[in-house]
Amino acid sequence: MRRSEQRRAAVFALYQHDLTKRPLDDVFEREALPFTRALAHATADYAEELDGHIAKHAKNWSLDRIAPLEKAILRTALLEMLHPDVVDADTPIPAEGAIDEAVETAKAFCGAEAPGFVNGILAAVLRTSIPDPNASGQS
């Protein structure tokens, strides 16, 4: 299973966990791979911090108004953007790749406005919270 599919599986596990309040381990598909499980658990562990980033950049939106699936997409992408070494992976996904995958997931499974909303929040976090390795003054 490709990493993008495993990320999507983690998003759906987090979505079900959020909706049903069942333990995360109870909502995984039987064939969920270790990366999927680790990504979902790490995202849940960092949810409070990730929600702070979402709330900061979701202009005129409270966290309660954001659809659960969109919130799961945002949290998962933010975890990989802000904490790329938390989940054991051969190569962490670049922040831009995490954004692209999140937007594609929103296009496939959410309403028409969701991809732009997801992209806007993640791009704002990228601009304000993640240092640019190409910025001048760095060696």
CA 17 vs CA 28, 44, 106, 139: distances in Å:
9, 9, 18, 43
Mean pLDDT of 127-135: 76
Rounded to whole angstroms, the Cα distance separating 44 from 46 reads: 5
In sign, the C-alpha dihedral spanning 125, 3, 105, 66 is negative
Is residue 129 within 8 Å of residue 82, measured between CB atoms? yes
pLDDT of residue 113: 95
- Nearest 5°: CA angle at 46, between 45 and 49? 150
Q: Which two tokens stand for residue 48?
A: 């409070």
Axis crossing angle, helix 34-45 with helix 68-82, rounded to the nearest 10: 100
Q: pLDDT tens, 61-78?
A: 899 999 999 999 999 999
Which of the four pLDDT bands, split at 50, 70 and 90, describes residue 135? Answer: low
Q: Which two tokens stand for residue 13?
A: 């596990």
Mean pLDDT of 49-54: 97
Domains and CATH numbers, the chain: 3-129 (1.10.940.10)
Answer yes or no: is pLDDT of 132 > 80: no
pLDDT of residue 47: 97
Residue 62 DSSP class: -
Answer yes or no: is pLDDT of 130 > 90: no
